[in-house]
Amino acid sequence: MKHEPTATVTNTANPGSRMIILLLLCAYPAAFLIANERDSKRPNILLMTVDNLGYGDLQIYNPRSKISTPNLAKLASRGVRLTQFYTASPTCTVSRACLLTGRIAQRHGLNNQLPGLEGNYGVGLNPTEILIPQMLKSAGYRTGCFGKWNIGFAKGSRPTERGFDEFLGNASGNIDYYRHVYNGKHDVYRGTVGQPFTEHHATGTYSSDLFADAAIDFITRHQTKQPWFCYLPFNAPHSPNRKNKLPKQANEWQAPPAAFARYGMSEKEADPKRRYMATVTALDDAIGRVLDCLDEQGATDNTFIFCFSDNGAFRLNREGIDMGSNEPLRGGGVTCWEGGLRVAAIASFPGVIAAGSIVDQPLWSPDLMITYANLTDAQPPRIRLDGKDALPVLSGRAPSKHQAFYFEFRKHAALRLGDWKIVRTKPDEPWQLFELKGDPSETDDQSAANPEKLADLIHEFKSWQTEF
């Protein structure tokens, strides 16, 4: 392992006590060797993604939020809250592909949403791409994925064919939370290495709970064996979709009764904003049960936890649908404004990451591939990666090494260089320039006042484009 505990132990024993300890060391050397080996073993890894959660939905980012998420707040109190963490793409499929490969879309080639039902069940990433679970599995890790896959489900593209030992989840995107239907087709599957995939019919079980239960079962079964990597990509709180509902069923946000009751509401609540609040709280409840499992198994201290939203909340002016908040950021999902790319992110690793800390430095999702490689002594793919080891930054030992982040999705594009950013929503429109340190909301276009800075960033973006 490449990390060291930060705790300091002070020896306050008297001379008589020290003699007893020496005698015990002589009498039981094997026991002490075993204990030392246990203390130095490679950590477990829990990677959780949430779907379209807004930067401003969590009170730890936005005190104005009225959404109750005590478990995510607890996780942040145990570790670090990141204020400038970026997802590599403002949309679900591409974001997940960048996360799992450690590479931007321009390199791995999956640069758009998988189209429709056929696409979701087609070939996603090129089979030559090495994913995080493949890297960790080769290093002796047990691997499991439970939740939204969304990067291709044809033969050769399924989770158990891309490094996961077991899988329970959906192939596509925003399934119905209870019926688990996507575009009229049941969409929850179970699979293990060497076994055919089967449909998993758990109709009536809320999807966030279904995936959390599977993760808890995986963690419990493997806690005393080899180190494990658990990827838990929740589908919540992605917006509902009329195509996934019964003919007369309302297209509305879904949550268990307990989540509604938290706000003094019934399941018949009509206000979509309040229904969205219950959906996020239900997600938080599911995350809390997974964290409780780690505590109960005595695994928390040896588990590196990272949780982030795959992109910002959508703000497309869809009535009753776009309920998430990216406050104080501008825009939302599928755009390259800060609200589409800068996301809520929390990390915890006791003894390495200081409890209750804040990192106000830029990091992004491709960093996790190389971070996990260094943490576990796994061999990273011998290809161009776009991330850097985030652990020195998360632990406060070093500043971020990132100088620039490049983004391009459909017609949208952006470049962040230092504290400056250029952004446009169409290829034929002029670039806008913002100084993010003083203007994270991107309200004050500096292009006219700083033409030289604008020209420098445009040149940098065009130079980056020539790589592809």
- Region 373-402: mean pLDDT is 97
Percent of the chain with pLDDT over 70: 91
65 contacts: CB under 8 Å, gap ≥ 6: 56, 57, 58, 59, 325, 327
Is 372 within the bounds of a domain? yes
The verdict on 399 and 421 lying in the same domain is no
Residue 2 lies inside a defined structural domain of this protein: no
- Residue for token digits 């209750």? 356
**Total count of domains within the chain:** 2
In a domain? residue 17:
no
Question: Which residues, other chains included, contact 347 with Cβ-Cβ below 8 Å and sequence gap of 6+?
Answer: 79, 80, 82, 304, 305, 306, 307, 353, 394
Instruction: Give the CATH number for residue 101.
Output: 3.40.720.10
Residues 377 and 424 in one domain: no
| Cα–Cα distances in angstroms (integers) from residue 98 to residues 130, 235, 287, in the given order | 11, 17, 23
434 and 314 in a single domain? The answer is no
Structure tokens at 62: 């936005």
Domain identity same for 368 and 421 = no
**pLDDT of 145-166, one tens digit each?**
999 999 999 989 999 999 999 9
Give Cα 362 to chain centroid, integer Å: 16
Burial class (CB in 10 A: 0-12, 13-18, 19+), 150: buried
Question: Coil, strand or helix: which one is 348?
Answer: strand
Shortest CA distance to 132 belongs to which of 104, 106, 90, 97? 97
Query: Over 90: is that where the pLDDT of 349 sits?
Result: yes
Residue 168 in domain: yes
What mean pLDDT is predicted for residues 76-90? 98
Residues of the domain holding 51: 43-404
Lowest mean pLDDT among 67-76, 240-249, 286-295, 357-366: 240-249
Tell me the sheet residues that pair with 44.
303
Inside any domain, residue 203: yes
Task: Give the DSSP H/E element, type plus range, for residue 123.
Answer: none
**Percentage of the chain modeled with pLDDT above 90:** 86
Residue 37 inside a domain? The answer is: no
Residue that is last in its domain, among 367, 386, 404: 404
3-state SS track over 62-89: CCCCCCCCHHHHHHHHHCEEEEEEECCC
Cα distance between residue 300 and residue 302, in whole Å: 5
3-state helix, strand, coil in the chain (%, to 5): 30, 20, 50
Mean of the per-residue pLDDT values of the chain: 91
- List pLDDT tens digits, range 408-461: 999 999 999 999 999 999 999 999 999 999 999 999 999 999 999 999 999 999
CATH number at residue 438: 3.30.1120.10
